[in-house]
Amino acid sequence: MTPAEAQKRIAQLRAEVSRHDERYYRQARPEITDFAYDGLKRELAELEARYPEFASADSPTQQVGDDRAQGFKEVAHRQKMLSLDNTYSEEEVRAFHTRLAKLLGSGELHYTVEPKIDGLAISLTYEQGRFVRAVTRGTGEKGDDVTANVLTIATVPRELKAVPGTTMPDFVEIRGEIYLTAAEFQRLNAERAAAGEELYANPRNTAAGAIKQLDPNEVAKRKLSIVLYSLGHCEPSVVQTQAELHARLKAWGLPGVERIWHVKGIDAAWAAIGELDQLRRSFAYGTDGAVVKLDDLALQREAGSTAKAPSWAIAYKYKPDTARTRLKAITIQVGKTGILSPVAELEPVFLAGSTIARATLHNEEEIRRKDIRIGDLVEIEKAGEVIPAVLRSFPEERPAGAKEFDLPAAVEHKCPVCGGRIAKLEVAAEEAQGVAWKCQNYDCSAQRAGRLGFFCSRRALAIDGVGGVVAAKLVELGHVQDPPDLYHVPQETLGTLNLGTAEEPRMFGEKNAAKVVAAREAAMALPLEKWLYALSVPDVGESTARELGRRHRSFAELTDSPLLRAVLKKAELLAEREQQAPNSRKNPPKDEADKARRKELCAQLDAAITALDAGVLAGVPSEIGPAVAASVVEFFASEPGRRLLAKLAKLGINPQGSVVAAGVFTGKTFVLTGTLPTLNREEAEQKILAAGGKVSGSVSKKTSYVLAGAEAGSKLEKAQQLGVPVIDEVEFLRLWGGG
């Protein structure tokens, strides 16, 4: 690998890891297994170590995944909440010991081995034994105050029990995990299935999503559990060893881990890791590994920690469960954008607590890359409740005559649902990155059902109850073609909708129907950005919809948008500029006269581009580029687009854009850091957005201001390095007031 190749791969991996971090920590919707994720991160760390010139403090390898969400007060941890170094290899567990033995000058080290709980990290603060607050890990330095939500967990003691003969600390941070039991997870999903809603993916993400609800009553509906296993800041300190700590937590009345091993030396620790693997499936919480920790807290302090993880502990992660089975067939599913996704139909096999008969195959390319053929013996993997995936095939045991899978041939070159034309396209859609086959028929019933389910999803119009199953039924029975048709379905029809079969009917029910009717009424008042997102316009994701919604007052204005015309015009001018460049190699000038003429022309083009940039296009964000502009214009001029708008108009639905009359912060980007004296983060962001500004998570040369409060961290330093102006709350409010 050349340095240039390494640099490119590093950039690629950083982008990919960041994308998965965002989905995992902030949205609680991962799309790959932890094992796959850890593989990417490891590759990145190795490249950064091998090419230190491309290392960066911004890299996801150098930071703790950020779980902060909007709407919570931020609180600084007294002692940082770190991550753990983790490994899948025995050798590295042993190397961890060798390193410590050398550092501490002793081979006689005692360890504890504890289950690694697969929940979300939480810190409980007790003062004089009284519970005062609960905070998420956040950036590690500060997290979200989720006290009200944690109070819904019955086993969190409001008061620690006094332990005779010991002191109660004046102040202590107690760390642990919030999780959902398997039983509770199944109960919630059964409820959702009955209501025709989309099922939760796995217990960890359901718990993470629940704790980030703004309404504690909603949280209480999902019975969360908690387990505590370590201390942060503790004043005065109360224990000397890790083993003692576990005993004290239990004595205080806190729920502790089911079992710890207290061992001497690394051989015994490795044996304990094996024993834990045998037991862990019977625990109340999900576990994804074992944590080996130095037992002696004084030695822990001596070993110290890096910015990201303690040096005195290591997590050994168990590989996800795998099984071998036969691939009977490959079927094709059609999604809301028409993408054809292959699904593996398997000889049912029991794996990690359930029987598996289907697994994802991602896309045609992946099937080819892994050389998977119908009839093959395959290895499948299941981690937590993430959708099972096919890992590999065993070509040496292949039945004679097994042919390479050919997707278009398998569907006879037409959509398996509607029989429509299919075409191969580059797609950047979440469902299938790369090249995919797509059904070209907008009125395909699979696409119709997909769009209706999406229209009603939480992030779109939040018409709860109309998940995949209900949406498909409504389309199948002809009640809905386009999502707005949902408004014409009578409550009665919804109530008696049979989601089961004729022999085994399962009614949607009166109560659910009433909820849908109320939710669809409420949705009528949602702003343009939500409606635009909900209508599945090609290339318009959530943030693009938000930016468009802030720059247009209505659908009418959007369909005849001077802004989008200007974006397209500029792209045209730029293309022309490139074509006519006097020193173009692709299209060299014929002679000196031609060159002079082109110089003149280019100057004119430049002037026109500058005028656009300074005028209509001033402050236009990257989300609104030529591809998006073209998609939006084209879609609303097309038959389906016009049909949708006509239906909305007929229903009297006219969502309003949240246009900000060129506010004082138009074109300005802010980065927030630290705790402000009076405004919380949400309020400050609201002010910036309402005044036309943007908020970004990281400081760069493009940042206009860093708004810093108390205990501002590395962002402040970065701002000073780059010479970005740093302002405090008073100055911020002055600017905001137009002063």
Binding-site residues from annotation for Zn(2+):
415, 418, 439, 444
* Strand, helix or coil for residue 496: coil
β-sheet with 225-235: strand ranges across: 130-136, 120-127, 171-179, 225-235
Using rule CB under 6 A, residue 117 touches ligand NAD: yes
Q: How many residues bind ligand NAD (CB under 6 A)?
A: 25
Choose, by CB under 6 A, the member of 249, 273, 315, 390 that binds ligand NAD: 315
Cβ–Cβ < 8 Å for 153, 210: no
The DSSP secondary-structure symbol of 724 reads: -
The rounded distance, in Å, linking the Cα atoms of 442 and 48 is: 45
Question: What residues contact 546, with CB distance under 8 A and at least 6 apart?
Answer: 529
349 within 8 A of 323, measured Cβ to Cβ: yes
Question: Tokens 């049912």 correspond to what residue?
Answer: 348
Is 173 a binder of ligand NAD (CB under 6 A)? no
**Interface with Zn ion, residue 517, by CB under 5 A:** no
21 binds, among ligand NAD, Zn ion, none (CB under 5 to 8 A by kind): ligand NAD
From ligand NAD, Zn ion, none, interface partner of 418 (C-beta below 5 to 8 A by class)? Zn ion
Backbone conformation region of residue 629, classed left if phi is above 0, alpha if psi is from -120 to 50, else beta: alpha
Shortest distance (Å) from residue 92 CB to ligand NAD: 14
Q: Identify the sign of the CA torsion 69, 73, 74, 79.
A: negative
Q: Which is nearer to ligand NAD, 269 or 315 (CB)?
A: 315
Q: Which residues 415-454 are close enough to bind ligand NAD by CB under 6 A?
A: none
List 10, 14, 28, 37, residue binding ligand NAD (CB under 6 A): 37
718 is an interface residue for ligand NAD by CB under 6 A: no
Using CA of residue 719, residue 720, residue 722, residue 727, what is the dihedral sign?
A: positive
Q: Please give the residues from 443 up to 482 whose contact with Zn ion meets the rule CB under 5 A.
A: 444
**Residues making up the binding site for NAD(+):** 34-38, 83-84, 114, 137, 177, 293, 317
Catalytic: 116? yes
Shortest Cβ 291–ligand NAD spacing (Å): 4
Under the binding rule (CB under 5 A), the answer on residue 383 touching Zn ion is no
User: From the list 75, 121, 266, 513, which residue makes contact with ligand NAD (rule: CB under 6 A)?
Assistant: 121
- What does 411 bind: Zn ion, ligand NAD, none (CB cut-off 5 to 8 Å by kind)? none
The footprint of ligand NAD on residues 467-506 (CB under 6 A) is none
208 touches ligand NAD (CB under 6 A): no
Q: Checking DSSP bridges between strand 171-179 and strand 86-87, what pairing results, if any?
A: unpaired
Stretch that binds ligand NAD, among 82-90, 166-174, 266-274, 554-562 (CB under 6 A): 82-90
User: Cβ distance 117 to 179 under 8 Å?
Assistant: yes
Dihedral pair phi/psi, residue 397, rounded to 5°: -110, 25
β-strand pairing of 321-334 with 340-351: antiparallel
Q: If binding is defined by CB under 6 A, does position 38 make contact with ligand NAD?
A: yes
415 binds Zn ion, rule: CB under 5 A? yes
540 contacts Zn ion (rule: CB under 5 A): no
The token pair that represents 494 in the structure block: 């919804």
Nearer to ligand NAD (CB atom), residue 72 or residue 312: 312
Annotated binding site: 34-38, 83-84, 114, 137, 177, 293, 317, 415, 418, 439, 444
Tell which residue, 230, 229, 178, 233, has the closest CA to residue 207.
178
Which does residue 30 touch among Zn ion, ligand NAD, none (CB within 5 to 8 A, set by kind)?
A: ligand NAD
* CA–CA gap between residue 87 and residue 309 (Å, rounded): 13
Please name the amino acid found at residue 482: D
Dihedral, CA of residue 50, residue 55, residue 60 and residue 66, to nearest 10: 150
Nearer to ligand NAD, 287 or 341 (CB): 287
551 binds ligand NAD (CB under 6 A): no
Query: What is the phi-psi region of residue 328: left when phi exceeds 0, alpha when psi lies from -120 to 50, beta otherwise?
Result: alpha
460 within 8 A of 540, measured Cβ to Cβ? no
Q: Which x/- pattern over 258-297 shows residues binding ligand NAD (rule: CB under 6 A)?
A: ---------------------------------x------
| Stretch (H or E) spanning 327 | strand 321-334
Does position 340 bind Zn ion by CB under 5 A?
no
Give the shortest CB-438-to-Zn ion separation in angstroms. 9
Measured from the CB of residue 448, what is the shortest distance to Zn ion in angstroms? 9
177 binds ligand NAD (CB under 6 A): yes
The residue sitting closest to Zn ion, measured at its beta carbon, is 444
The answer to the question of residue 243 lying near ligand NAD (CB under 6 A) is no
Q: Is 86 in the site for ligand NAD (CB under 6 A)?
A: yes
Rounded distance between C-alpha atoms, residue 323 and residue 379, angstroms: 6
Selected range binding ligand NAD among 87-95, 113-121, 269-277, 726-734, rule: CB under 6 A: 113-121
What is the total count of residues that contact Zn ion (CB under 5 A)? Answer: 7
Q: What is the rounded CA–CA span in Å between residue 153 and residue 135?
A: 14
User: Cα separations (Å) of 239 from 113, 230, 231, 236, 297?
Assistant: 18, 11, 10, 10, 8
Among 110, 116, 448, 520, binds ligand NAD (CB under 6 A): 116
Interface characters, 8-27, with ligand NAD (x: CB under 6 A): ------------xx-xx---
- 335 forms part of the interface with Zn ion (CB under 5 A): no
| Nearer of residues 117 and 513 to ligand NAD, judged by Cβ | 117
Residue 516 belongs to what H/E stretch?
A: helix 510-523
Helix or strand or coil: residue 377? strand
With CB under 5 to 8 Å by kind, the binding choice for 114 among Zn ion, ligand NAD, none is ligand NAD
| Residue 676 half-sphere exposure toward CB, CA atoms < 13 A | 22
121, 139 Cβ separation under 8 angstroms? no
67 makes contact with ligand NAD (CB under 6 A): no
* Catalytic hit among 41, 80, 102, 116: 116
- Residue 365 CB: number of other CB atoms within 10 A? 14
Residue written as token pair 């002010």: 687
Which of 135, 152, 175, 290 shows the shortest CA–CA distance to 225? 152
Encoded tokens for 292: 């080996």
Residue 24 binds which entry of Zn ion, ligand NAD, none, CB below 5-8 Å type-dependent: ligand NAD
Pairing of strands 705-708, 726-727: parallel
Catalytic residues: 116
Interface with Zn ion by CB under 5 A: which residues? 415, 417-418, 420, 439, 441, 444
Interface with ligand NAD by CB under 6 A: which residues? 20-21, 23-24, 30, 32-34, 37-38, 64-65, 83-84, 86, 114, 116-117, 121, 137, 177, 229-230, 291, 315
